[in-house]
Amino acid sequence: MTSSALTARVDAVRRFNRFYTRQIGLLRDGFVDTRFSLTEARVLYEIAQTPETTASLVAAALGLDHGYLSRILGRFAEDGLITRKPSADDARQTRLALSAKGRAAYRTLDRRSHQLVANLLDGMPEPRQRQLVDAMRLIEGSLAAEAAAPRVVLRPHRAGDMGWVVSSHAVHYAKERGWGAAFEVLVAGIVAQFLREFDPARERCWIAEMDGAPVGSVFLVNGGDDVAKLRLLLVEPQARGLGVGRLLVDEFLRFALEARYRRVTLWTQSILTEARALYERSGFRLVRQEPHCSFGHDLLGETWELDL
């Protein structure tokens, strides 16, 4: 790389840093209009996330000098924001926790930080929001020696999710398997029937979200005779390898047991090797194989079952 190219890139990074720190108000005296500095707010956050953590763990997580952190913790203790007690495992270590006053201060910081970012995103079209989050994830992954695993959460379906389920299945299977419109029609029929006949006591749809965007789905459909059907398991490419599929199947099985189903069944294809491996690890057994021609391809359909 030439020196001029490097200089231009350095200038671009510094320009972005100045822009973003101004956007989120890091140059003000108090973070999100509180009396805490940004560093103090991060220390409160770390203590709130890990009950009875230690100063060493906080310093390591934030890359702070121990003397600097010790002064911050001293001020927190004087203000009644934290409690300190000797560790039961190591007398040399002191366990830190937020007091009731500290938890209230943390909730204020968390609420105002959330609102600050929400205000930045408000009015921005949905595609632009996704682009922004993807760009930030790219920056984080590029700069971190080992990027932190994104946070994945499961939630029930809500308005608009079924359109995403149909679209994501159609797009990914067309791209990865060459399955045509017939497959999209099949998926659309499954979700339409699910919505028409949905029984919340016996059926569920779970949507996996990563950084607020849907990245996976699975459906539990009542198959009658105390048999639950697993349908439309999908994990988008950017979320694969993070355990999202296992998380979805585990939650499916937990609810199936709670709803007192006797057996779980599913239909898949022999070429879907990653899904088959997941089913096998979860305890399913292959009970039947049938060749068929569907979605413009010759396939080997498989039925898998699991007795609960």
Residue 145 lies in a domain: no
Does the pLDDT at position 216 exceed 80? yes
**pLDDT for residue 249:** 94
Q: What is the 3 state secondary structure string of 47-74?
A: HHHCCCEEHHHHHHHHCCCHHHHHHHHH
pLDDT for position 263 = 96
Q: Has residue 143 been placed in a domain?
A: no
Kindly state whether residue 130 falls inside one of the protein's structural domains.
no
Residues 98 and 216 in one domain: no
144 in a domain, yes or no?
no
Contact 23, 119 (CB under 8 A): no
Provide the mean pLDDT of the chain: 86
Q: Same domain for 108 and 220?
A: no
Domain membership of residue 100 as a residue range? 3-122
What pLDDT does residue 287 have? 95
| Full DSSP string of the chain | --HHHHHHHHHHHHHHHHHHHHHTTTTSSSGGGSS--HHHHHHHHHHHHSTTEEHHHHHHHHT--HHHHHHHHHHHHHTT-EEEEE-SS-TT-EEEEE-HHHHHHHHHHHHHHHHHHHHHHTTS-HHHHHHHHHHHHHHHHHH-SSPPPPPEEEEE--TTHHHHHHHHHHHHHHHHH---HHHHHHHHHHHHHHHHH--TTT-EEEEEEETTEEEEEEEEEE-STTEEEEEEEEE-GGGTTTTHHHHHHHHHHHHHHHTT-SEEEEEEETT-HHHHHHHHHTT-EEEEEEEEEETTEEEEEEEEEEE-
Residue 140 lies in a domain: no
Q: What's the pLDDT score for residue 28?
A: 66
Residue 181 or 55, more confident: 181
- Domain CATH code at residue 192: 3.40.630.30
Is residue 10 situated within a structural domain? Answer: yes
Task: Indicate whether 148 pLDDT > 60.
Answer: no
Please check whether residues 100 and 230 belong to one and the same domain.
no
pLDDT, mean of residues 259-271:
95
**With the CA atoms of 110, 131, 209 and 191 taken in that order, what torsion angle do they form, in degrees rounded to the nearest 10?**
140
What pLDDT, on the 0 to 100 scale, is given for residue 12? 81
Sign of CA dihedral 244, 246, 247, 253: positive
State the pLDDT at residue 62.
Answer: 82
Residue 37 counted as domain residue: yes
- Tell whether 133 is covered by a domain: no
pLDDT score of 156 more than 90: yes
Q: CA-to-CA distance for 217 and 205, rounded, in angstroms?
A: 7
Same domain, 40 and 172: no
Residues 156 and 257 in one domain: yes
Please determine, for residue 209, whether its predicted confidence score (pLDDT) is greater than 80: yes
44 & 157 share domain: no
Please tell me whether residues 63 and 158 are part of one structural domain: no
Based on the fold, state whether residues 181 and 109 are members of the same structural domain.
no
Residue 33 predicted with pLDDT over 80: no
pLDDT in tens, 230-240: 999 999 988 88
Q: Please measure the distance between the N-terminal and C-terminal CA atoms of the chain and give it in whole angstroms.
A: 61
60 pLDDT higher than 70: yes
Q: What is the total count of domains within the chain?
A: 2
